[in-house]
Amino acid sequence: MFCTHCGARIPDVANFCVGCGAQVNRGAATVSASPAPPAPPADSAPVPPPPVRSDPALANPPVRPASPPGAVTKCAWCNAAIEGALSNCPRCGATLNLPQAAGASGWAQLPARKDMAKLQFGDSFCQIEGLYVPVADLNLAAGDSVYFSHHVLLWKDSHIQIEPMSLKGAWTRMFAGMPLIMTQVRGPGHVAFSKDLPGELIPIPIQPGESVDVREHLFLAATGHVAYDWFQSGVWFETRTDKDERETHYPVGQFMDRFSTGNQPGLLLLHAGGNVFTRHLRPHETILVKPTAMIFKDPTVQMHLHFEHPNMRFMGWGNWSNRYLWLRVTGPGRVGIQSVFERIEGETRNISRFSNATEQRW
Amino acid sequence: MNEKSALSCHACGAPLDIRNLVSESGWREAPRIRDMTEIQFGSSTCQVEGEVVPVAEIKLGSGDAIFFEHHVMLWKEETVPLTVMQLSGGFKRLFAGMPFIISVATGPGRIAFSRDATGELVVLPLHPGMELDVREHAFLLSSHHISYSFVRIKGLTNILFGGQGMYMDRFVTSGSPGLLILHGYGNVFERRLGPGETIMVEPGAFLYKDSSVTMDVEFQKLGGGLFGGAGMSLARMTGPGRVGIQSMYVHHKTE
């Protein structure tokens, strides 16, 4: 595909020209990048899971040679169709010539990303540096901007000015423990972000008209075209002590962040603890996950509490120290989890009230 | 000078068969030292073991010694004697939360060190006449040829908002070279600033710098109005010299 503005050759998947930075105007015949993330059709047969690798020799699978020019590769992460002999997805930075590590259960690992992998947004670039606690190093072009929570800023060029970004509902955010102030910087210049936990950096390219829901405090930065909003998670339970002291707990946080795009694509950067796994749920397909392990989900994915406990008589809701508290998520859509998660506060206490929940006794 | 067939540098352990990883913004990633790499200093060797929380295992030659903060010691052979380094300003160190005692291990024998979090070992061979300032508690061990002192961080703003206490460790080599090993949380990056060149760094991410680099913490108020807003502080590092940062930083409360 060629840029209609400067004539430079650009990958079909690119949202912006690598030569001049102009937004790519795709004609019907040239569209090859499918929106991410797609949900399998409702009537599709279950896809047989790939075999689990058990041979130690396959623990480090051989790198496939880059695709020959003209061949189309599908990015395992953002689902973009990549044309040509690229080794990294220009939209999300994922390595293209590695087989995707997916378990038999359907959870897929976040695709490997080479150290110093580079991705583009607008006229700007993001380089992901380091493997233990990766850094997102952004080279912002003039006119481009990113916003972030100020405690994730690692370093910046001296001349870049940090500006506060106004947010609605300051009182509510303050009482919910969410950051009261979002900060933003504008290009040109370099700025870098990281968080204080070993884990993975998750670039999520958001195509026009799409949204992603993210659990609070996992957001690293987003480009200026991505709109930020937040909503009540609706997942809570109340505990009561013998002295009738009540406390409300929010296992996925009282609020969730929602990031959306209008008519322009954007890039969202998250940081999760440990390793990251994603799964596409079909319509009405459900899975139980640890509430504090959830990172993000498509807005189409529904969630509610689920209690699981032994089938014993003479027991009230609050008496089970061996009760399990889950988050039951229902498709269609994508859900992402992290392997490092916190203990759920109040899980083993006497639960007196709770939001919409299902129950299973065994 | 390393032999042509060598796979890693004998002085710092960096792999020789892969190129430096340098970001477009000019930060060089600390070389990822291969598991079980050996580094030589004096008549002693250091073997780097593990990759997630690496261990520095030292085989001390006879007459060689190293010094360290005692809480980073992982194991040692019974025969290795430990002594205490005489330090000036003991009370100052005590009140500043710095280790009151620096221990010294003397060869021959084996002793090993590690810290309490995921990160990287930064092996810094110091040539004669070098001065390096290191964030307190970040140094793992140093060979006895390096002289150790501490410098007070100047300026009330630097102390209050710098997130690294009142003092920095200073390591100086005079007549002979030495080996300094740090542990950085997360990934470690280094950048060389030209004279007068500046960069703004999260103070909690600062790991080390050449003493020629100046550090001034600047406080910025963000927002205001009914909620009072929040503030953040950033350290302005001005060259010439090297600056090292860690990506999993010690974040100090700014709100």
Report residues of chain A scoring pLDDT below 50: 27-64, 318
Number of neighbours of residue A76 by Cβ within 10 angstroms: 22
| Domain-located, residue B78 | yes
Q: Rg of chain A over CA atoms, in angstroms?
A: 22
pLDDT band per the 50, 70, 90 thresholds, residue B18: confident
Mean pLDDT of B113-131: 92
Q: B229: nearest CA in chain A?
A: A181
The token pair that represents A124 in the structure block: 């700007």
Q: How far apart are CA B142 and CA B46, in angstroms?
A: 11
The pLDDT assigned to B121 comes to 93
Q: What's the pTM value of the predicted model, to 2 decimals?
A: 0.80
Which residue in B has a C-alpha nearest to residue A196's C-alpha? B248
Q: Are residues A121 and A205 in the same domain?
A: yes
The single-letter code of the amino acid at B253 is K
Query: In this structure, is residue B3 part of a structural domain?
Result: no
Residue A238 is assigned to a structural domain of this protein? yes
Residue B126: predicted pLDDT: 92
Q: What is the per-residue pLDDT for A319? A: 53
Shared domain check, A166 and A126:
yes
Residue B8 lies in a domain: no
Answer yes or no: do A216 and A313 share one domain: yes
Distance from CA of B108 to the nearest CA of A (A): 35
- The Cα of A195 is separated from the nearest Cα of chain B by a number of Å equal to 6
Query: Are residues A271 and A202 both part of a single domain?
Result: yes
Residue A316 belongs to domain with CATH number: 3.60.160.10
How many domains, in total, are found in chain B? 1
- Cα(A277)–Cα(A286) distance, rounded to whole angstroms? 16
Q: Has residue B21 been placed in a domain?
A: no
Q: Which of B27, B223, B250 comes nearest A164 by C-beta?
A: B223
Q: Which of A99, A122, A145 is the last residue of a domain?
A: A99
With respect to residue B223, please indicate whether it lies within any of the assigned structural domains: yes
Main-chain phi, psi angles of B250, to 5 degrees: -85, 100
Cα-Cα-Cα-Cα dihedral sign, residues B141, B143, B146, B148: positive
pLDDT at A104: 75
> How many structural domains comprise chain A?
2
A312: containing domain? 100-361
The alpha-carbon gap from A234 to the nearest alpha carbon of chain B, in Å, equals 26
Give the DSSP letter of residue B56.
E
Sign of CA dihedral B94, B95, B99, B102: negative
Interface check for B248 against chain A (CB to CB < 8 A): the answer is: yes
Q: Is A158 on the interface with B (CB under 8 A)?
A: yes
Q: What 3-state class would DSSP assign to B12?
A: coil
Backbone angles phi, psi at A24, to 5 degrees: -80, 125
Alpha-carbon dihedral angle through residues A165, A168, A170, A176, given to the nearest 10 degrees: -110
Nearest by CB: A150 against B185, B232, B250:
B232
The Cβ of residue B111 has, within 10 Å, a number of other Cβ atoms equal to: 23
Nearest C-alpha in B relative to A166: B223
Q: Is residue A73 a contact partner of residue A32, using CB atoms and an 8 Å limit?
A: no
Same domain, A166 and A86: no
Most confident region among A288-302, B12-26, B38-52, B209-223 by mean pLDDT: A288-302
- A162 and A257 share one domain: yes
In terms of domains, do A79 and A144 share one? Answer: no
Token digits for B61?
């030659």
Which amino acid, B87?
L
Instruction: Point out the residue among B186, B223, B234 whose CB comes nearest to the CB of A198.
Output: B186
Is the ipTM, as predicted for this complex, more than 0.95? no
Residue A42 lies in a domain: no
Residue B226 at interface with chain A, using a CB cutoff of 8 Å: yes
Pick the more confident residue, B57 or B233: B57
A177 touches chain B (CB under 8 A): no
What distances in angstroms separate CA B179 from CA A48, A254, B66, B172, one per listed residue?
Answer: 55, 51, 9, 11
Choose among B25, B119, B251: nearest Cβ to A132. Answer: B119
pLDDT of residue A56: 40
Identify the CA nearest to A209 among candidates A258, A256, A264, A270: A264
- Return the residue in B29, B245, B247 with the most chain A beta carbons within 10 A, the one to mutate for interface testing: B247
Closest-CA residue of chain A to B205: A154
- Mean pLDDT, residues B200-229 taken together: 82
Instruction: Identify the pLDDT of residue A329.
Output: 96
**Domain assignment of residue A214, yes or no:** yes
CB spacing of A155 vs B205 below 8 angstroms: yes
Beta strands at A226-232 and A255-261: parallel, antiparallel or unpaired: antiparallel
B229–A181: do the CB atoms touch at under 8 Å? yes
Looking at chain B, the whole-number percentage of residues with pLDDT higher than 90 is: 55
Minimum-distance CB partner of A135 among B185, B227, B247:
B247
The answer to whether residue A43 is domain-embedded is: no
Structural domain ending residue among the three candidates A99, A126, A152: A99
CB under 8 Å, gap of 24 or more: what pairs does A68-72 form? A72/A12, A72/A32
| Listed residues A84, A99, A114: the one ending a domain | A99
Smallest Cα distance from B148 to chain A, Å: 29
B38 forms bridges with which residues in the sheet? B47
Same domain, yes or no: A177 and A286: yes
Give the residue-averaged pLDDT of B130-149.
Answer: 92
Contact: A133, B186; criterion CB under 8 Å: yes
Q: Which of B111, B108, B101 is nearest to B76 (CA)?
A: B111
Q: Which two tokens stand for residue B55?
A: 């261990």
Distance in angstroms (rounded) separating the CA atoms of residues B12 and B18: 15
CATH code of B126's domain: 3.60.160.10
Instruction: Choose among B25, B227, B251: nearest Cβ to A180.
Output: B227
Distance from CA of B71 to the nearest CA of A (A): 22
Question: What's chain B's average pLDDT?
Answer: 86
Residues A90 and A170 in one domain: no
Q: Are residues A163 and A127 in the same domain?
A: yes
What is the radius of gyration, based on Cα positions, of chain B?
Answer: 19
Contact between residue B163 and residue B95 where contact means Cβ atoms under 8 Å apart: no
Query: Is A329 part of any domain?
Result: yes
Is some CB atom of chain B closer than 8 A to the CB atom of A157? yes
Structural domain of residue B52, as residue ranges?
28-246
- Going by DSSP bridges, is the β-strand pair A294-297/A211-215 parallel, antiparallel, or unpaired? antiparallel
| Pair A227, A83 in one domain | no
Kindly state whether residue B4 falls inside one of the protein's structural domains.
no
Say if B16 falls within a structural domain. Answer: no
In a domain, B1, yes or no: no
Per-residue pLDDT for B94 more than 80? Answer: no
Looking at per-residue pLDDT, the higher value among A52 and B238 belongs to: B238
A10 within a domain of the structure (yes/no): yes
Subunit contact B230:A157, Cβ cutoff 8 A: no
